[in-house]
Structure 1
Amino acid sequence: MQCQTVRSAQPYLLIAWVTVVGIVCPASVFAEELIYRYVDENGYTVMDDRIPQQYVKKGYSVLNVYGVVVEIVAPALTAEQLSLLEAGAREKVKLERERAIIEAADKQLLKTFADPSDAERARNRQLEALDIRIDITNGSIKRLVIEKESENAHAARLERAGRAVTKEILGSLERIDRQIDNAYTLIEEKQREKVQLRKAFAVDIRRLRELRGMPAISEAE
């Protein structure tokens, strides 16, 4: 035997609901029956021993025959709510990944440099190495310029003597010009490396000071 559907614009008082159930339903079903409370399309609160499928996603409560709520089923999430939930989950994963990357970078940084002064010494050593390379290249340019002047002087003597400049001299002058151009290009590259090196170490030194609890320093310092 099934209980009759009971509709109400307002929730029943517990004692009233128990009275209604006692009248409509036989005592033999009390131990088995559960009552589903939901709101229909007209806004009425419905209590029944079953719930139509179209109302399940709107949420409902499950009561025993004494009117005690034994379970509350929340409404299904809307498409917009699901989208927001998924976006939040993606953002959480993104933040966790970024945090893991930062933690790994910090660990490696502390493993590489004991403190900011250690990083500063490493920076200075690398800058000095680049300066040495630039000085060597400048020295090569000076030697190439002298060699070029010598070849030009040789070519001028031949022309004054009414003789043609040899292919060897012309080839040597072309080679010297290429080497000088390459040397200047190398110097420009090393100068750019110095700028990038300072920027990279500035980031590391700033982070080391943060990790070691040291006060920040201005760019001028």
Structure 2
Amino acid sequence: MTKGAIRFTALLTLLLPCWASAAELYRYVNDKGVTVLDRQGVPPQYIGKGYEVLNEQGRVVRVVPPAPTPEEVRRMLKAKEQAKSDAQLMRLYTSVDDVDRARSRRLAELDGLIGVTRGNLQSLRTQQDNLQRQAADHERAGRQVPEELVKQIENVKSDQRRLQKDVARYQALREQAETSFAAERIRVGELLGGSAR
């Protein structure tokens, strides 16, 4: 190869990318609503609106869609979260019957906790009655009620208040479980292509 041919090849190699990019046109709409053809590219303020890349014959070779609006982004994120939630549901349940069995187990567990707590509460009420009877015996006999007995009565009352709150909490959890399982039952039915009987 001659020196001239080598120089020509080197020059061609350097200029080829320029010719290739020069052959592309960018079509976009400016802020006045006018369609613009530009060899330099799309100005940054218009990229988000989307544009087209054309070859030297004027044919569209690539379309860059507009950037999503904030509402579209919110919808996409919501759909992504729903898909994640649905996938988790389908890992947990293979049928609507699975949801019903899980619901029955959870409600039985909460009913058991409520029953035990109410039983403990009844036991504390009996204990409080006995302690108050002892305090009344001291008062009838003209004696001062011992400080230890007063503390025991207060402790029993405090324990009762705590257990009453526990019963209310378990009942609230039971209501939440009912609502949650009802929604899961419907969604699993939809995902499996049927209805939640």
Normalising by the smaller structure, the TM-score range is 0.5 to 0.7
Q: Please name the residue that 1:156 is paired with.
A: 136
CA distance, structure 2, for counterparts of residue 193 and residue 80 of structure 1: 57
CA distance, structure 2, for counterparts of residue 182 and residue 143 of structure 1: 14
CA distance, structure 2, for counterparts of residue 140 and residue 115 of structure 1: 38
CA gap 1:114/1:153 in 2 versus in 1, 3 angstroms: same
CA distance, structure 1, for counterparts of residue 92 and residue 123 of structure 2: 40
Q: What amino acid is the match of 2:31?
A: T
CA distance, structure 1, for counterparts of residue 170 and residue 33 of structure 2: 55
CA gap 1:102/1:119 in 2 versus in 1, 3 angstroms: same
Matched, 1:186 2:166: yes
Q: TM-score normalised to the size of structure 2?
A: 0.66
CA distance, structure 2, for counterparts of residue 80 and residue 184 of structure 1: 69
Give 1:99 shift: 2.1
Give 1:105 shift: 1.5
Flag structure 2 segments of 5+ consecutive residues without an equivalent. 1-22, 35-45, 50-65
Flag structure 1 segments of 5+ consecutive residues without an equivalent. 1-69
Give 1:106 shift: 1.2
CA gap 1:130/1:79 in 2 versus in 1, 3 angstroms: farther
Give 1:216 shift: 4.7
Q: Deviations over 1:52-88 (max 9, x none)?
A: xxxxxxxxxxxxxxxxxx9987564217996994774
CA distance, structure 1, for counterparts of residue 101 and residue 32 of structure 2: 57
CA distance, structure 1, for counterparts of residue 47 and residue 168 of structure 2: 52
Instruction: Please state which structure has a larger fraction of its residues in helix.
Output: 2
Q: Please name the residue that 1:129 is paired with.
A: 109
Matched, 1:99 2:79: yes
Among candidates 183, 186, 192, match of residue 212 of structure 1: 192
CA distance, structure 1, for counterparts of residue 32 and residue 118 of structure 2: 68
CA gap 1:176/1:75 in 2 versus in 1, 3 angstroms: closer
Matched, 1:77 2:30: yes
CA gap 1:73/1:155 in 2 versus in 1, 3 angstroms: closer
CA gap 1:182/1:132 in 2 versus in 1, 3 angstroms: same
CA distance, structure 2, for counterparts of residue 131 and residue 203 of structure 1: 21
Q: What amino acid is the match of 1:132?
A: G
Q: What amino acid is the match of 2:172?
A: R
Q: What amino acid is the match of 1:141?
A: L
Q: What amino acid is the match of 1:202?
A: A
Q: What amino acid is the match of 2:30?
A: L
Q: How many residues align?
A: 148
Give 1:114 shift: 1.0
Q: What amino acid is the match of 2:145?
A: V
Matched, 1:110 2:59: no
Cα contact 2:189–2:195 (8 A) shared by 1: yes
Q: What amino acid is the match of 2:124?
A: L
Q: What amino acid is the match of 1:165?
A: V
Aligned-residue sequence identity (percent) comes to 26
Q: What amino acid is the match of 1:203?
A: A
